[in-house]
Structure 1
Amino acid sequence: MDAIIAKFFSSEEDELYVLDCMAYFMIFMAVCTFLTLLFENVPYGRYASSKYGFPVNVKFAWFVQELPAFVVPVCLLTLTSSARTSLRPNQLLLAMYFCHYVQRSLIYPFLIRGGKSTPFLSFILAFVFCVYNGYMQVRYLSHYAHYTADWIIHPCFILGSALWLVGWLVNIHSDHILRNLRKPGETGYKIPRGGLFEYVSGANFFGEITEWAGFALAGQSIHSTSFAVFTLIVLSSRAVAHHRWYLTKFEDYPKSRKALIPFVF
């Protein structure tokens, strides 16, 4: 794979420049997405619509669209040579990335119970994003990110790692609550209760946003920051939409709950 990548870039400086451009482009797309989401919800789940293409089975869609975020990085790490992967800060940041996507691509899709089909456009866009972001994050961390040996005891790394862990646990626990809202054979929507759902409507989104914010703080790169910004834009919009939907759908929905940030918003 080193030879294949070398055909596209004449030097490591050229590839790093492209990786930087990819990160800035992701931030640009985050801004465009923010403007779009002012008028339209992300079209999957309860907001799915046939105008965005034919429906794709939800389990199949989640598995296939998330899989590149795991497979592309694995290929990069196993089929290319890099000295950066021997550095402890790089190893820990890569571990954070893989912990999320092993769960999201290889475990989560097979735990889904029911759920609406995913429109084809949403499925394809998610697939492309996972290829794009998987390459950008892991190629940078495995080949170009340079940290001093004592970076792992720097306050930014410690706080970022703690935020990542808290966010990861909140995300997994919130998904568990959502999966178990319905008993076998039941359909329809219910009010989620327990965990962070007692305080916000988008507990699972809060968890994932916190994850990647911590990852960006620990990594201190434009690449991790762009991912955190994109995640914030998309998932905060979805949390607000869910909150409004719950308030409209259920007369007894807890009025004290916020959309995304406990006691604040």
Structure 2
Amino acid sequence: MQCSPCLVVALSATLVALGMLILWLYGRTPTRYGKHAEEETGEKPPEQKPRRLHLPAKCAWFLQELPAFLVPVLLLALRSPPRFAPLGCRLLGGMFCGHYFHRTFIYSLLTRGRPFPLQTLLSGMLFCVYNGFLQGYYMVYCAEYPDDWCNDIRFTSGILLFLFGMGINIHSDFLLRQLRKPGELTYKIPQGGLFVYVSGANFLGEILEWFGYAIATWCLPAFAFALFTVCFVGPRAYHHHRYYLRKFTGYPRSRKALIPFIF
């Protein structure tokens, strides 16, 4: 397989367009899943729906996130000759695949979420295959960096931002899990960490992660993914915030949805 710059541009542009479409579709109306299926659409909670349309959260998250980890690894393994030395591959292995290794093999085992809609799962899997191929294909077959890239301010600042965002994301997920006892499905007010300032602390962490990745790699596919992440999780954070304000009379009014003190 050879690098095709035209393919990289086309796939990246499609990713941005998909993000804009999602922002337009769900900017005002939340996706019909979890708390929003029950609150906004009047549907029955997932646990009251036929199980054939839902999978347990642990299984669903594992299946959904696995392609984003597996596809880049396969691309790297299938490349002939192998390419382990260049910095581009080390970035891929240490950042993109590191995130999805955690989401696939750690987060999925720890989550206490509600049963997952099959349609949502299939959509998520298709996206992870697509994005995993785009990011992996570029890094394995196209990326070229100078020998001193590790000393570049873009690399160092991007790495720090990525690790900072990943720390926020993991810590926020931990705090959300502590709100529920095993088997409990009720929603409660998130407390601690950046939840003191925003309702979507976990989403903010993920956005910072991918912008850090984009800065460190300084490539079109990574920036396209970072923009897609904003378009995808930004509305989710906004609708979570509105839900909490409606459901809990004692919800802190000083909290913002996604950006502390601003939005």
TM-score past 0.5 threshold:
yes
Q: Distance in 2 between matches of 1:262 and 1:86?
A: 40
Bigger shift: residues 166-175 or 55-64? 55-64
- Matching residue's letter, 2:67: P
SS of 1:86 mapped into structure 2:
coil
1:34 is matched with 23
- 1:116-139 per-residue CA deviation (whole Å, 9 max, x = no partner) reads 222222111100000001111011
- Matching residue's letter, 1:88: L
1:66 is matched with 65
1:96 is matched with 95
Q: Does 1:126 align with 2:124?
A: yes
- Matching residue's letter, 2:35: R
Question: Matched residue pairs, number?
Answer: 252
Bigger shift: residues 89-98 or 158-167? 89-98
Kindly report the root-mean-square deviation, in angstroms, between the aligned alpha carbons of the 2 structures. 1.9
Q: Distance in 2 between matches of 1:118 and 1:47?
A: 13
SS of 2:84 mapped into structure 1:
helix
SS of 1:81 mapped into structure 2:
coil
- 1:151-180 per-residue CA deviation (whole Å, 9 max, x = no partner) reads 111111111111100000000000000011
Q: Does 1:234 align with 2:207?
A: no
Deviation (angstroms), 1:83: 6.3
Q: Does 1:55 align with 2:39?
A: no
- Matching residue's letter, 2:91: L
Q: Which runs of 4+ in 1 moved over 6 A?
A: none
Q: Distance in 2 between matches of 1:222 and 1:184?
A: 42
Q: Does 1:262 align with 2:260?
A: yes
Q: Distance in 2 between matches of 1:209 and 1:86?
A: 28
1:215 to 213, 222, 231: 213
- Matching residue's letter, 2:70: V
Q: Distance in 1 between matches of 2:98 and 2:185?
A: 31
Q: Distance in 2 between matches of 1:195 and 1:81?
A: 46
Bigger shift: residues 134-143 or 180-189? 180-189
1:197 to 176, 195, 198: 195
Q: Map residues 10-29 of structure 1 onto 2, 5 A cutoff.
A: 12-13=2-3, 15-29=4-18
Deviation (angstroms), 1:21: 0.7
Q: Does 1:243 align with 2:232?
A: no
- 1:174-193 per-residue CA deviation (whole Å, 9 max, x = no partner) reads 00000111234544111111
1:170 is matched with 168
- Matching residue's letter, 2:72: P
TM-score, with length taken from structure 1: 0.89
Conservation of the 8 A alpha-carbon contact between 1:89 and 1:152: no
Q: Distance in 1 between matches of 2:182 and 2:54?
A: 23
Conservation of the 8 A alpha-carbon contact between 2:91 and 2:217: no
Unpaired segments ≥5 residues, structure 1: 1-5, 7-11
Conservation of the 8 A alpha-carbon contact between 2:161 and 2:211: yes
Deviation (angstroms), 1:79: 2.0
Cα distance, 1:42–1:88 mapped onto 2, change above 3 Å: same
Percent of residue pairs identical: 44
Q: Distance in 2 between matches of 1:185 and 1:128?
A: 29
- 1:61-80 per-residue CA deviation (whole Å, 9 max, x = no partner) reads 11111111111112111122
Deviation (angstroms), 1:89: 4.7
Bigger shift: residues 250-259 or 71-80? 71-80
- Matching residue's letter, 1:78: A
- Matching residue's letter, 1:108: Y
- Matching residue's letter, 2:259: I
1:3 is matched with none
Q: Does 1:156 align with 2:154?
A: yes
1:43 to 19, 23, 32: 32
- 1:214-244 per-residue CA deviation (whole Å, 9 max, x = no partner) reads 1111111110011001111111110000000
